[in-house]
Copies of this chain bind each other. A is one copy, B any other.
Amino acid sequence: MNTSVAFIGLGAMGYRMAAHLPKQFDTVYVWNRNFDKAKQHATEYKTQAVELQQAVQADIIFSCLPTSQDVEDLIQTLEIKSGAIWVDCTSGVPESARKLSQQLAEKNVKFLDAPVSGQTIGAENATLTFMVGGEKSAFDQAFATMQVMGKLIKHVGDSGAGFAVKAVNNMMMAVHLCAAAEGFTTLKAHGVNLNEALDCINASSGKSGVTEAVLPQRVFNRSFPLTFALPLLAKDTGIAVDLIREAKLSAPVIGLTQSLIQTANNLAEPNSDFSTAIKMYELWNKITLD
């Protein structure tokens, strides 16, 4: 297609995501703060490693950075092409999306908050889920580019709605993680065979993404591979509770879980996977989930 596309931020997710774009689009710019990574990407996937200022002349500009603050800082410095659509895949802050959306609108640029789920394996296999907030017309225009990298591409509401869904998704996952830690600790304390119990629960009403994937693949085998850092989960749960505070809602289980994830993060070693939050419970109860 003739649409030109750019991808800014070639981290563990971005690097893999951008790799799919040349399959459908002729002009694919990539940029990364550590520019060697951009050059490596260009070599490996036939993208073009360009200066940031050139990248933002693309029709559709993707970004995937650690936090909304990083995106804000970057955008302040740029002269983005009029008529472009900026698709931000960061797990960001809804309020920031609304602010950037307004700022960019003055320059005739549309902003979509479009966080993804599916982790690096989903990025690699182009099976990501995109949860997108912003103007429906901009969503429609950017749809084809997202579809190259994802499987389920959903417009979930106005500006900020995408970030809100991602934050709530991760917050719910955090609750499920605590429930699993507490539930299986209880079973172990009472002499139950954890693997058999897990099979039963995964065939029953108590299952979750955590019992289906996190417990068997990360916890019971004691691997805790670093694919989603605990500080990032702590950040996302914080975004969720800020949404609750803003709307003056009552959400006690989420509130408590955020405290616990914050505690686990305060106690954790650097570069810990989110799943190591379970180790906090293990310490508290002197029970290891293996």
A133 and B286 CA atoms in complex are apart in Å by: 24
Stoichiometry, as copies per complex, reads 4
Out of B172, B206, B234, name the residue touching A172 (CB < 8 Å).
B206
Chain B min CB distance to A125 (Å): 13
Residues A203 and B253 in contact in the complex (CB < 8 Å), given A172-B179, A284-B266: no
- Judged by a CB distance under 8 angstroms, whether A168 is at the interface is yes
Chain B min CB distance to A169 (Å): 4
Out of B154, B180, B256, B283, name the residue touching A196 (CB < 8 Å).
B154
Residues A185 and B249 in contact in the complex (CB < 8 Å), given A165-B197, A193-B161, A204-B117: yes
Interface membership of chain A positions 171-194, coded 1 if the CB is closer than 8 angstroms to chain B and 0 otherwise: 111011011101111110111110
List the B residue with the shortest CB-CB distance to A130.
Answer: B200
A182 and B255 CA atoms in complex are apart in Å by: 10
List the B residue with the shortest CB-CB distance to A180.
Answer: B172
Chain B min CB distance to A80 (Å): 26
A81 and B187 CA atoms in complex are apart in Å by: 33
A157 and B194 CA atoms in complex are apart in Å by: 9
- Judged by a CB distance under 8 angstroms, whether A107 is at the interface is no
Q: Which of A140-165 touch B at CB < 8 Å?
A: 151-152, 154-158, 160-161, 164-165
State the A residues within 8 Å of B (CB): 94, 117-119, 129, 131, 133, 151-152, 154-158, 160-161, 164-165, 168-173, 175-176, 178-180, 182-187, 189-193, 196-197, 199-201, 203-211, 213, 234, 238, 240-260, 262-263, 265-267, 281, 283-287
* Across the A-B interface, the 6 shortest Cβ-Cβ residue pairs: A169-B206, A117-B204, A208-B208, A182-B251, A172-B206, A189-B247
